[in-house]
Amino acid sequence: MNPDRTVLIIGGKLKIVQKARALGLDVVHIQVKEQYGPAHQELVAGALLGDYTDWRVLRPLATAAHEAWGFAAALSLTEPGLDPTGRVNDLLALGGTSYEVSHRFTDKALMREHLAAAGVPGPAHALLREPADLAAFGAAHGYPFIVKPTAVTASFGVIEVTGEDKLDAVWARIDELRREGANQWARFFPVGDFLAEEFLDGPEYSVESFSFAGRHVVIAVTEKAVLGTGFVELGHALPARLDPALEQAVVEATVTFLDAMGLADGPAHTEIKLTARGPRVVESHNRVGGDRINEMVHAAYGIDLDTYTIGWPFRLVEELPDRPEPKRAAATRFLIGTPGRVTEVRGVEEVRADPSVVAFDFDIAPGATVNPLRGNWDRLGQLVVTGEDTSAAIATCERLTGSVEVVTGGKA
């Protein structure tokens, strides 16, 4: 194997290893034991198993892997692997995104402080150390305001504080979240500090971009649908149906943000609200967006952001000269249900047979448990479709998800 054509992949799904191999790269893989299986063995040149989120474990593994096989780049496309990859880049002088830059994305409080120092407009914010901090923030910035963990993803633990009379309950919920952790992902997303932020009004969009040696190309602006006035995401659609002037403002705000954050190469998924004071960044990630947004971008624009992320360090993909034009539209909606024990599921086969379907993730069966919808991880499944335009894709997606019925009864 040629070290100049070898990549270290930290964590993530099997498909990332498969896409690296499809580009002609050799793969060295560092993964946790329970997520490594026989299919990996056929694809990787070498593998080391351990908790890559623990630097005391990862450092000797990465050093040993580099000495044994060599690799020219390290990358991760999973949130828990981003900071570890930055540490490996620094340790082995590989280039790529450093830990300092990566951690600005993964620590929401650090992001806010960094942007404020750079003069980028954003909401008022404060770390919460004790119950009195909630009252102090509300007195200074009014209600409602937002409370969220500084280092978790998928809308987990986000709370809207609607008034002074809710402060005790909010602090009790913070304590509960710290004790329970992030459900089945607690190993990868420990719940520690919480951040208070001024409430941002207006509709929310995400921006899918890729940076080429410091030049940021916005590929798509994506609409977001949420549950009522809450934070659990129920769907996305692209390209967003936005007035051109507003879309340009979103694009410019994203480029300004990425410049300020110091991201030079690779993907970013940036969430922005169009407030009365202009576009404001909610948060961002130096990775491809979740919720199958990559499949949506690929369906609409013909661009696989996973492949770009893997191939760009080796210059195996062409640099995009400018924003691409969409060929079609794509939409996704999530299936939710009434909490309880599942007794019957109807309509699934009809959805799978529809020619507009790109992906349908749904494996709920009688006997399964539907949990209360408190975060993205409590959703039951996901449907992705294409359409001639965004409105048509959304209509198809909502029609098909509406035809699936999950019947529950009794207590979960």
Supply the range of the domain harboring residue 296. 206-327
Is 266 inside any structural domain? yes
Phi first, then psi: give them for residue 124, nearest 5 degrees.
-60, 150
Distance CA 188, CA 81 (A): 9
Whether 196 and 158 have beta carbons less than 8 Å apart is answered as: no
Same-domain pairing of 323 and 260 = yes
315 and 254 part of one domain = yes
First vs last C-alpha separation in the chain = 52
In the prediction, which pLDDT does 35 show? 93
Residue 351 and residue 297 share a domain: no
Count the domains in the chain: 4
Clarify whether residues 224 and 322 are in a common domain.
yes
Task: Give the model's pLDDT for residue 7.
Answer: 98
Residue 365 lies in a domain: yes
The better pLDDT of the pair 266, 227 is held by 266
The verdict on 319 and 362 lying in the same domain is no
Q: Reply yes or no on whether the pLDDT at 18 is more than 80.
A: yes
pLDDT digits (tens, 9 = 90+) for 358-395: 999 998 889 888 888 776 677 888 999 999 999 999 99
CATH number at residue 178: 3.30.1490.20
Q: Looking at the domain assignment, is residue 118 inside a domain?
A: no
Looking at the fold, whether 65 and 152 belong to one and the same domain comes out as no
3-state secondary structure 330-364: EEEEEECCCCEEEEEEECHHHHHCCCCEEEEEECC
What would the pLDDT profile of 303-323 be if each residue is shown by its tens digit? Answer: 999 999 999 999 999 999 999
Q: Please tell me whether residues 191 and 229 are part of one structural domain.
A: no
Contact call for residues 335 and 404 (beta carbons, < 8 A): yes
Domain identity same for 222 and 314 = yes
**Residue % of the chain over a pLDDT of 90:** 81
Whether residues 155 and 144 fall in one domain: yes
pLDDT of residue 364: 87
Kindly state whether residue 403 falls inside one of the protein's structural domains: yes
- For residues 57 and 133, state if they share a domain: no
**What pLDDT, on a 0 to 100 scale, did the predictor assign at position 375?**
66
317 and 220 share one domain: yes
Query: Is residue 55's pLDDT more than 80?
Result: yes
Residue finishing a domain among 144, 177, 198: 198
Residue 188 and residue 284 in one domain: no
